Amino acid sequence: MSRPTLAKGYEPWDVEEKWENHWEEDKTFAPDVNDGNDPYSIVIPPPNVTGVLHMGHALNLTLQDILCRFNRQQGKSVLWIPGTDHAGIATQNVVERQLKEEGKTRDDLGREKFIERVWEWKKEKGDHILSQIRRMGASVDWSREAFTFDDQRAKAVRKVFVELYRKGLIYKGDYIINWCNRCHTALADDEVEHEDKPGNLWHIKYPLADGSGDLIIATTRPETLLGDTGVAVNPDDDRFNKYIGSTVILPLVGRELPVIGDRYVDIEFGTGCLKVTPAHDMNDWELGRKHDLQVLPILDEKGYVNENAPEKYRGMHKDEARKAVVADLEAQGLLVEVAEHDHKVGVCYRCKSVIEPHVSTQWFVSMKPLAEKARAAVPERTQIYPESWSKTYYNWLDEIRDWCISRQIWWGHRIPAWTCQECGEIIVEMDDPTTCSKCGSANIVQDEDVLDTWFSSALWPFSTMGWPEDTAELAKYYPTSCLVTGFDILFFWVARMMMMGLEFMEEVPFHHVYIHALVRDEHGKKMSKSTGNVIDPLDMISKYGADALRFTLTSFAAMGRDIKLSEQRIEGYRHFMNKIWNAARFALMNLPETVPAADVSKAESLADKWILHRLDEVKEQVARATREYRFNEIAQTLYKFIWSEFCDWYLEMIKPALYGEDEQAKAMTQRVLWTVLSETLVMLHPVTPFITQEIWSALPRPEGDDRSEDIATLAYPDMRPGLRNDAAMAEMELFMGVVSGVRNIRTELVIEPARRLNLLVKTAGDADKAVLEANADLIKSLARLESVEIGPDVQGPKASGSTVVQGNEIYVPLEGVVDFDAELARLDKEMAKIDKGLVGVTKKLANPGFVNNAPADVVEKEKAKQAEMEEKKTKLTELQERLRSVMG
């Protein structure tokens, strides 16, 4: 059979598109649920339909793909389900911005037409992220693609809501929630991000009602005093506990407020006296409920002062109200002090607007009963990697509050609850009701709100497999094997999936959770558009290919450590792809159309025995690292084996056999070469699927090898312990030590590569002598030698470069090879240049003005420069001494 040839250089773009299309059209990754093989399943963390591929996605997809491709190689029935999240707030914002450009609002369209408009946008642009996932080479089953807002997921959402409501775990009530004035919706606690912002502490007099003095209150939000309904002090604070039970006059308003005692008050913070505004602070809400204080909202849903405040301030935006309140306090002599105070401010995770605590009627999930089960499941039924994240998981579940699941938007799963306008009954059923179940009235109205996007995402592991129907996929693939995700959605998503899986499937949703780290820039800074340090994965794929990007991310994906990424590193691994390609082209030029059917266990040459030993070790190391989620070790093991051992040593060592006249030796070497290359491609395939597939399709086969043309379907290569050969390893280490010793001498003394040298080896024993003599021709070839003399009585001339390898003395005569005086002069000149540079950088680092005021990364660069120059100076000094010793 005629096979395709490999182009002179590897150009990934045509290769990637070709195999992407092949795998999808051929349904290579669509498993047969009835195949009888052990299951392995993963659900993709569904990216938002509004999203574009970023480096965190690229890392996540790469790691998942490695696991899926590796487990297929283990003979498992692998199901990797793709899909997207409808991203309620984000998607609605996108479409509302489009409407704004047209001079319209969603209210102009009405709910039904607006939803139609969002669906139009989704069909046109909402699947863009999926095409980007394809470019990463993700081996997902596209025939099972899911969407959190499609009909199947809607059935699951409806059933979960109804059952939780019937169990009393979903309820409706007044509560303080996080409110975004920009998005006009409630947010769950974990949808609020906290940013450090500069601010102030205003110290304000609250006069005691009996006229005996004032209590000084420190606050970061003076405008909310209009809604104060109490003042709190710590009962253990001897300064103020005598005022508990008395009252104060609320400045600017005139209401009398009770002074309460509660140990929640921090004696050390501010003045030790706390204003209590239950309607506008989460902690004050709890204090108010505990002490039966009035809840008095003074801001509406858009952030404007309402009718509960004095008339003067009504209609002002909260920022305007702050200025007015502070001015009035100052005018009335009630403002004591304004101190600078930096503090954490909650902002919306979508639009970054400042969050306003707001009392509202919302829908909630009672979390405590669900959280207890989810907590108990780790680590007995689900293990988290790295294990350190378990503590964070526990802490969040232990401190969990009820989950506000209603959102005041239109795009999303509308809450399946109807309220009777006659008797007030709430009706929650699987099918849309037409009449009130209590009074029979047809005057029932569905709730206007939609469910939090994370509600549908929490059902993802089983809803994607067809639940609530009893499907074959659920029976075989649930629970899933592993969830790969970022730590930032450990609470948003992972914990909630645990709760819902245990509640509705009576089983954890995944056996393992692998939490990957952040991808940062090369200086360790978080990537962001504002700092201009974002590395776009799609740009990197366009420039260097998907395989180079995937290998780079894998090589730095050490468990628990953030990745410091630079474009130069990706470019470096693009060179590695070229190395693999060129090695494959060399092999193809030296392999016949049908590979000889030789038994590699009978290989006799040192090169063949050694590389087969190392191949078996690498197979074991890569398999173990994959099972233990040590992704960086997969890449590093393969990199070292392919670049250094296979390419730099083995391919050079076998050239005499490939080009020689001994046909039997040639046939054996060809079979070993094919074995090592083909099995290495299979091991490498989960990390770099495209280049390995392209090379495999061009690789000839031995007679009788009828394996698939698709490398993605091949089994992981079998271990062959019989090929382990410790003696060959020891001989090879000696061989490489001698060749490397000569090469190092050549490099140190700047001897041109073309210059043939002589080598003298004083051997330490008969065994070493036999090994070196048996491989003398190879040593001459690889070290570029004119002659080699080996024996126990060999003596090297005084003017020699020398080293010791496993007790064997290596001498390279230098008389007539090196101009010692010229070399010393060159070293003196280079040393002077380094000394001059060291003076400058040392002076700069000794300057406190530079060290204290320059950016940290600039200072670190100077320190690294200093260390590099000092190291180079040390090496030059050692070389000078060595040359003088040789000359001596």
- Measuring CA to CA, how many Å separate 563 from each of 450, 526, 883? 38, 10, 43
Q: Is 703 exposed, middle or buried (0-12, 13-18, 19+ CB in 10 A)?
A: exposed
User: 6: which DSSP letter?
Assistant: P
3-state secondary structure of 82: coil
Contacts of residue 47, Cβ cutoff 8 Å, sequence gap at least 6: 53, 57, 84, 85, 129, 133
Beta bridge partners of 813: 800
Does 476 belong to an annotated binding site?
Answer: no
Supply the DSSP string of 201-214, one letter for each residue: EEEEEEEBTTSS-E
Rounded to 5°, angle at Cα 120 from 115 and 126:
105
Cα angle 765-769-775, degrees, rounded to a multiple of 5: 155
* HEC sequence for 595-612: ECCCCHHHCCCHHHHHHH
Q: Which among 808, 810, 726 has a CA at the least distance from the CA of 767?
A: 808
Please tell me the total number of residues recorded for the chain in this structure.
Answer: 888
Concatenated DSSP letters for 391-442? HHHHHHHHT---EE-EESSSSS-B---EEETTT--EE--SS--SS-TTT--S
Can you tell me the distance from the alpha carbon of 326 to that of 783, in angstroms, rounded to the nearest whole number? 83
275 CB burial (10 A radius; 0-12, 13-18, 19+): buried
Q: By the 8 A CB rule, do 193 and 349 touch? A: yes
Residues 6+ apart with CB under 8 A from 634: 66, 554, 622, 625, 626, 686, 687
Distance from the Cα of residue 496 to its chain's centroid: 20
DSSP string, 103-127: T--HHHH-HHHHHHHHHHHHHHHTT
CB proximity list for 767: less than 8 A, separation 6 or greater: none
Closest CA to 289 of 372, 175, 171: 175
* Token representation of residue 64: 């998942």
- d(C-alpha 799, C-alpha 655), whole Å: 33
Please say whether the beta carbons of 717 and 619 come within 8 A. yes
d(CA 440, CA 423): 10
Name the token pair of 807: 């007790």
Contact 84, 49 (CB under 8 A): yes
Where on the phi/psi map is residue 480: left (φ > 0), alpha (ψ -120 to 50), or beta? beta
Task: Give CB contacts under 8 A, 24+ apart, made by 617-625.
Answer: 617/724, 618/680, 618/683, 619/679, 619/683, 619/716, 619/717, 619/719, 620/719, 622/683, 623/70, 623/716
Q: Which residues contact 683 (CB under 8 A, 6 or more apart)?
A: 618, 619, 622, 638, 716, 717
Cα distance between residue 408 and residue 88, in whole Å: 10
Please enumerate in sequence order all residues whose Cβ is within 8 A of that of 822, keeping only pairs 6 or more positions apart, or say none.
none
Q: Where are the beta strands (DSSP E) in 646-792?
A: 701-702, 757-762, 785-791
**For residue 178, what are the β-bridge partners?**
187, 357
Please state, as a whole number, how many other Cβ atoms lie within 10 Å of the Cβ of residue 36: 6
Residue 669: φ, ψ to 5° = -65, -40
List, as residue ranges, the binding site for ATP: 529
List, as residue ranges, the binding site: 529
